């Protein structure tokens, strides 16, 4: 069975479950998938809906980018430096369980109600996930590889370039896939307060007005956005890690 056919069957199965739920609950609570899809396509024909999509996409991508730029090198540092890990690991695991969404009001107070606070919240949440996985990935490298590399005259910086980073890249993309789902959830919450832009705002605005169809159109939009980013990470993984077969 081809990959495309498997995904088509997956979408059909979701659509069938959605339809059954709509028939059970009634369209007032759960619009059927056909009606929602038609309304979604109509929404895509409007510039306003695209404006909300691009705002959400910008916030999501910037949050993920900041998380990678900070968590990836820091995770390698903790995983390959015993002294850094001795100092940093306790702080990491003490603060990791704290729900990062609770810091949204703090970011609003410190950074204002603009984009920076929402992006920082996404970066903080995704960054912790990336950091934990990157550290674990670095710690899992077989020490014999490092010994062999150094025995051939390799320097520490060459080890970073030719051993540590290539070994960590597959786990980075796996971590990004995991973090994307979390980042989408945080994006929705971040767009639910003190803003008039983004798909999260559209969802809450439609819910407040009792417009169930418009709410599900925005939910579908956010789902497609998350799927597109997830698929893009998969494309990047194949480009940067061609030796990985998945």
What tokens were used for 69?
């730029």
End-to-end CA separation in angstroms for the chain: 15
Residue 38 shares a structural domain with residue 130: yes
Residue 86 shares a structural domain with residue 106: yes
- Report yes or no on 163 lying in a domain: yes
* Residue among 174, 82, 187 nearest 129 (CA): 174
Residue 50 shares a structural domain with residue 2: no
Residue 192 shares a structural domain with residue 150: yes
pLDDT at 3: 64
- Report yes or no on 246 lying in a domain: no
pLDDT at 132: 92
Distances (CA, A) of 106 to 64, 91, 227, 241: 20, 20, 30, 38
- Report yes or no on 198 lying in a domain: yes
Residue 139 shares a structural domain with residue 20: no
pLDDT at 155: 74
- The domain containing residue 3 runs over which residues? 1-30
pLDDT at 14: 84
How far is Cα 13 from Cα 18, in angstroms, rounded to an integer? Answer: 9
237 with 170: CB under 8 angstroms?
Answer: yes
Tell me how many degrees the CA angle 139-95-170 measures, rounded to the nearest 5: 35
Q: What is the pLDDT along the chain (246 residues), one digit of tens a residue?
A: 576 677 778 788 888 888 787 778 777 788 888 888 999 999 999 999 999 999 999 999 999 999 999 999 999 999 888 888 888 888 888 998 888 888 888 888 888 888 889 999 999 999 999 999 999 888 887 777 777 777 776 677 777 777 888 888 889 999 999 899 899 999 999 998 888 899 999 999 999 898 899 999 999 999 999 999 999 998 998 888 887 765
Residue 66 shares a structural domain with residue 152: yes
Residue 44 shares a structural domain with residue 92: yes
Distances (CA, A) of 132 to 8, 87, 140, 224: 34, 15, 12, 27
Residue 26 shares a structural domain with residue 36: no
**CA 237 from centre of chain:** 15
**Phi/psi-derived region of residue 149, left when phi > 0, alpha when psi is between -120 and 50, beta in every other case:** alpha
Residue 114 shares a structural domain with residue 213: yes
Residue 155 shares a structural domain with residue 99: yes
- Report yes or no on 148 lying in a domain: yes
- Report yes or no on 245 lying in a domain: no
What tokens were used for 165?
């980073």
How far is Cα 243 from Cα 145, in angstroms, rounded to an integer? Answer: 18
How far is Cα 31 from Cα 61, in angstroms, rounded to an integer? Answer: 30
Number of domains in the chain: 2
Residue 38 shares a structural domain with residue 20: no
pLDDT at 1: 57
Residue 227 shares a structural domain with residue 127: yes
- Report yes or no on 96 lying in a domain: yes
């Amino acid at each position: 069975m081809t990959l495309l056919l498997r995904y088509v069957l997956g979408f059909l199965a979701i659509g069938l479950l959605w339809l059954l739920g709509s028939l059970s609950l009634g369209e007032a609570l759960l619009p059927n998938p056909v009606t929602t899809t038609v309304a979604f396509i109509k929404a895509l024909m409007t510039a306003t809906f695209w404006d909300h999509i691009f705002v959400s996409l910008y916030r999501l991508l910037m949050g993920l980018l900041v998380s990678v730029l900070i968590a990836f090198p820091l995770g390698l540092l903790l995983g390959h430096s015993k002294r850094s890990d001795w100092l940093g690991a306790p702080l990491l695991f003490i603060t990791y369980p704290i729900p990062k969404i609770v810091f949204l009001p703090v970011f609003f107070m410190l950074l204002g109600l603009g984009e920076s606070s929402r992006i920082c919240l996404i970066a903080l949440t995704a960054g912790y996930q990336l950091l934990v996985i990157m550290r674990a990935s670095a710690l899992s490298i077989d020490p014999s590889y490092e010994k062999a590399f150094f025995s051939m005259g390799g320097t520490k910086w060459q080890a970073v370039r030719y051993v540590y980073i290539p070994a960590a890249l597959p786990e980075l993309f796996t971590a990004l896939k995991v973090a994307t789902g979390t980042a989408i959830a945080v994006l929705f919450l971040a767009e639910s307060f003190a803003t008039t832009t983004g798909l999260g705002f559209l969802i809450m605005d439609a819910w407040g007005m009792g417009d169930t169809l418009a709410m599900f159109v925005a939910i579908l939009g956010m789902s497609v956005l998350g799927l597109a980013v997830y698929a893009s990470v998969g494309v990047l993984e194949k480009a940067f890690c061609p030796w990985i077969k998945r």
